């Protein structure tokens, strides 16, 4: 039994620079695209762990309007999936939205129907901090994708996706989508991940984060009355390193005092917003991720993008170069370090890789 509750929400504004009769450029506001937010409920959702949640809520944001082609199927829907700890609203940041969602952009809402879900355990979707704490079902990436598929098909009535796209955790979700529902999309664009189990250094920093939280005496098995500050401080430190961009940070914080101030500001900001249970679940959800054996099931054209300064997915492992050979219509691109790359966060710097998205959309267009 599924209940669908759409509601309007404030969107975001774009700015265009206009020149007239040789006069100086002036910034003019552009009306925001049609945007909706809503909550989609799935009754008695069963997780792969065997646990069940009586009512699983997925929050989402949409831009644009779905359109159907001559065959009756929706032909302009795009799902964009966020990373660990994020939510759908992160894609409204200028480095992403002002490039792709702008009028004339590759994902212009005037032409595309864009779906931005908050994954299980994230944003305004069902999560441990809602009240169940450590008794919340132990979700994994397959659960998250299954819920997204239900949102798309049953909640929003979309029977086909023009593009499946995701960053970091959402990148890994893209591989799960491609293997689980291979005929459901025209194209896939995973950004900033690998298609093998979380191991090596990537697992090591996650394990340190998990241990930092659970070894804090204030943790109390997840039934803490106040946040375990020492454990969360360890987690915030590790998140800063995992998302670091050495090339940019050396420029932005060229002195000891500047670097120290950056760390202090970053950690204090995280401590004011993080919930220990939510973060623990978010990081732990990757524990059994492994699409490597089934990459051959992916049939849609796939454009896989990583950046050379990514701490989480270091290029020297050469994992992606080997794995992409298993994907019939797959292509892998490693973005070299430059003044435009931001480590792992390059995944939302759309200006860096939008030319590859343009190639993918052209290649996968229906004739």
Lowest mean pLDDT among 9-18, 311-320, 327-336: 9-18
Question: Which has the higher per-residue pLDDT, 13 or 327?
Answer: 327
Q: Give the Cβ contact number of residue 216 at 10 Å.
A: 20
Ranges in the chain annotated CATH 1.10.1740.110:
201-283
Structure tokens at 51: 């646990």
Bridge-based pairing of strands 330-335 and 302-307 is parallel
Whole-Å CA distances, 96 to 131, 136, 191: 33, 33, 13
Lowest mean pLDDT among 28-32, 215-219, 337-341, 350-354: 28-32
Domain 201-283, second-level architecture: Orthogonal Bundle (1.10)
Structure tokens at 256: 């000891």
* Helix or strand holding residue 53 (H, E): strand 52-63
Collapsing DSSP to helix, strand or coil, 2 comes out as strand
State the Cα–Cα distance between residues 180 and 30, nearest whole angstrom.
Answer: 39
SS3 string of 59-88? Answer: EEEEECCCCECCCCCECCEEEEECCCCCCH
How much is the pTM? 0.90
State the Cα–Cα distance between residues 86 and 125, nearest whole angstrom.
Answer: 11
State the Cα–Cα distance between residues 18 and 24, nearest whole angstrom.
Answer: 9
Percent of the chain, pLDDT > 90? Answer: 90
pLDDT of residue 32: 55
Q: Residue 101: pLDDT above 50?
A: yes
Collapsing DSSP to helix, strand or coil, 103 comes out as coil
Ranges in the chain annotated CATH 3.40.50.1820:
2-196+296-363
Percent of the chain, pLDDT > 70? Answer: 90
| DSSP type of residue 254 | -
State the Cα–Cα distance between residues 270 and 276, nearest whole angstrom.
Answer: 11
pLDDT of residue 33: 62
SS3 string of 216-227? Answer: CHHHHHHCCCCC
State the Cα–Cα distance between residues 229 and 227, nearest whole angstrom.
Answer: 6
Instruction: State mean pLDDT over 25-47.
Output: 77
Structure tokens at 186: 């025209």
State the Cα–Cα distance between residues 23 and 86, nearest whole angstrom.
Answer: 42
Q: Residue 231: pLDDT above 70?
A: yes
Structure tokens at 103: 């009028």
Structure tokens at 169: 């955790």
Strand order across the 188-191 sheet: 2-8, 35-46, 52-63, 113-117, 77-81, 163-167, 188-191, 302-307, 330-335
- Residue pair 303/186 in contact (Cβ under 8 Å)? The answer is no
pLDDT of residue 131: 96
**CATH classification of 2-196+296-363 is 3.40.50.720, yes or no?**
no
Residue 12 banded pLDDT, cuts 50, 70, 90: very low
pLDDT of residue 366: 77
């Amino acid at each position: 039994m599924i209940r669908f509750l759409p509601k309007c929400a404030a969107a975001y504004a774009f700015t265009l620079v206009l020149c007239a009769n040789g006069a100086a450029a002036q910034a003019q506001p552009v009306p925001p695209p049609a945007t909706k937010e809503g909550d989609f409920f799935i009754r008695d959702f069963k997780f792969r762990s065997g646990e069940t949640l009586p009512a699983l809520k997925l929050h989402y944001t949409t831009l644009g309007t779905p359109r159907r082609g001559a065959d009756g199927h929706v032909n302009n829907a795009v799902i964009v999936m966020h990373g660990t700890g994020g939510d759908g609203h992160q894609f409204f940041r200028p480095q992403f939205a002002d490039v792709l969602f702008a009028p004339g952009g590759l994902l212009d809402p005037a032409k595309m129907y864009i779906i931005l879900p908050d994954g299980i355990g994230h944003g305004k979707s069902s999560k441990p901090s809602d009240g169940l704490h450590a008794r919340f079902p132990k979700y994994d990436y397959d659960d998250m994708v299954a819920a997204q598929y239900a949102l798309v098909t049953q909640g929003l009535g979309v029977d086909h996706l023009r593009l499946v796209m995701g960053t970091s955790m959402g990148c890994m979700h893209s591989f799960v989508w491609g293997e689980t529902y291979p005929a459901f999309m025209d194209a896939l664009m995973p950004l900033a991940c690998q298609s093998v189990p979380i191991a090596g250094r990537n697992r090591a920093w996650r394990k340190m984060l998990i241990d930092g939280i659970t070894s804090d005496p204030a943790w109390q098995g997840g039934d803490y009355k106040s946040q375990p500050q020492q454990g969360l401080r360890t987690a915030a430190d590790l998140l800063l390193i995992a998302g670091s961009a050495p090339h940019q940070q050396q420029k932005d914080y060229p002195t000891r005092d500047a670097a120290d101030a950056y760390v202090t500001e970053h950690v204090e900001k995280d401590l004011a917003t993080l919930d220990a249970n939510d973060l623990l679940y978010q990081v732990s959800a990757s524990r059994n991720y492994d699409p490597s054996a089934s990459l051959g099931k992916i049939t849609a054209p796939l454009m896989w993008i990583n950046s050379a300064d990514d701490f989480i997915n270091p290029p020297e492992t050469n994992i992606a170069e080997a794995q992409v050979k298993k994907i019939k219509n797959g292509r892998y691109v490693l973005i070299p370090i430059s003044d435009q790359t931001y480590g792992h966060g390059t995944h939302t710097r759309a200006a860096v890789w939008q030319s590859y998205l343009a190639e993918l959309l052209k290649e996968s267009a229906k004739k």
